[in-house]
Amino acid sequence: MPIQQNISTTQKYLSHLALFVAMCFLFLTPASTVLANMVLSEAIIHFEPGKPLRKDIEVENPSDSENLYIEITPSIVAEPGTENEHRLTIIDPRESGLLVTPNKLVVPPGGRKLVRVVSLQPLGEKERVYRVTFKPVVGDLETEQIGVKILVGYEVLVLMQPATPEPNLVAKRSGKSIFFENKGNTNILLREGKQCPDGIPNDSESCQRLTGRRLYPGNSWTLELPFNKAVDYQMSVGTKNSVETYK
């Protein structure tokens, strides 16, 4: 098979930082630093039943002086959310079911360009998970000084739900801990968790913020709690959100 191995609230034009790459260029005199950055319109892409199987990601170059050169690499995420999670770089889009085009971009200063993400296969029985890496590559460092060019890359998470999503999150309380297990067929995101002590309203500063996590089918998670009280979480299944209380 031609494939090789290789929450907080998300606002528009904010993406999850995935990697830092530093490259140095040596010239003649004292050092200067140039930051090659980018802005992506999406951090997570959801493909859901009844919706188009294509999405666009806008890539913006905030620099006012330098071109932005980007390499784009999609990967399959195998066994997501487990200790054995690993990635398979996509060689043949038809085989993997995901097409990302183009795979290279040159974005002029202050400019924007689009990258299209397309599912080449209909949604199936199982959820499919991908990561798309946007990695800046080196252009010219226009200076006569010793220079350091810092390249900041990003990743976009691509989630393809099953044709018939069946979310089923089981939660069990035991004193000051809670156990979650995803027994459904689609991923569930728990975010903005909160727990308050006795007699304290939910908007009080005395309430404790709790860690969140994305649970893929078959994943489980145990969380230690500050109090032996009810727990509130925002739960996201695809683009659908709800608030759940676990007592």
DSSP-derived 3-state class of residue 56: strand
pLDDT at 155 over 70: yes
Task: Label residues 81-98 b or e (16+ Cβ within 10 Å = b).
Answer: beeeeebbebeeeeebbb
Query: Tell me, what's the pLDDT at 245?
Result: 94
Distance of CA 187 to the CA centre of its chain: 13
This prediction has a pTM of: 0.79
Mean pLDDT (whole number) for 12-32 = 38
pLDDT at 10 over 90: no
Write the DSSP string, 181-241.
Answer: EE-SSS-EEEEEEEE--TT--TT-TTSEEE--EEE-TT-EEEEE-SSSS-EEEEEEETTEE
In this predicted model, which residue has the larger pLDDT, 2 or 130? 130
pLDDT at 74 over 70: yes
pLDDT at 5 over 60: no
CA 126, 128, 133 angle in degrees (round to 5)? 175
Judged by average pLDDT, the poorest of 9-18, 78-87, 156-165 is: 9-18
pLDDT at 149 over 70: no
pLDDT digits (tens, 9 = 90+) for 186-235: 999 999 999 998 777 777 778 999 999 999 999 999 999 999 999 999 99
**Same fold for the pair 4-160 and 169-246:** yes
CATH homologous superfamily for the domain 169-246:
Immunoglobulins (2.60.40.10)
12-16, 25-29, 219-223: which is most confident? 219-223
Distance of CA 45 to the CA centre of its chain: 8
Q: What is the CATH number of domain 4-160?
A: 2.60.40.10
Q: pLDDT category, 30, cuts 50, 70, 90?
A: very low
In this predicted model, which residue has the larger pLDDT, 247 or 218? 218
* Averaged pLDDT of the chain: 84
**Spatial separation of the C-alpha atoms in residues 42 and 117, rounded to whole Å:** 11
Query: Tell me, what's the pLDDT at 221?
Result: 97
Mean pLDDT (whole number) for 53-78 = 94
User: Domain residues of the chain, as ranges?
Assistant: 4-160, 169-246
pLDDT digits (tens, 9 = 90+) for 79-103: 999 999 999 999 999 999 999 999 9
Query: Tell me, what's the pLDDT at 99?
Result: 97
Query: Tell me, what's the pLDDT at 69?
Result: 93
The CB density around residue 64, as the number of other CB atoms within 10 Å, is 7
Number of H helices, E strands in the chain: 1, 21
* Residue corresponding to tokens 């946007």: 134
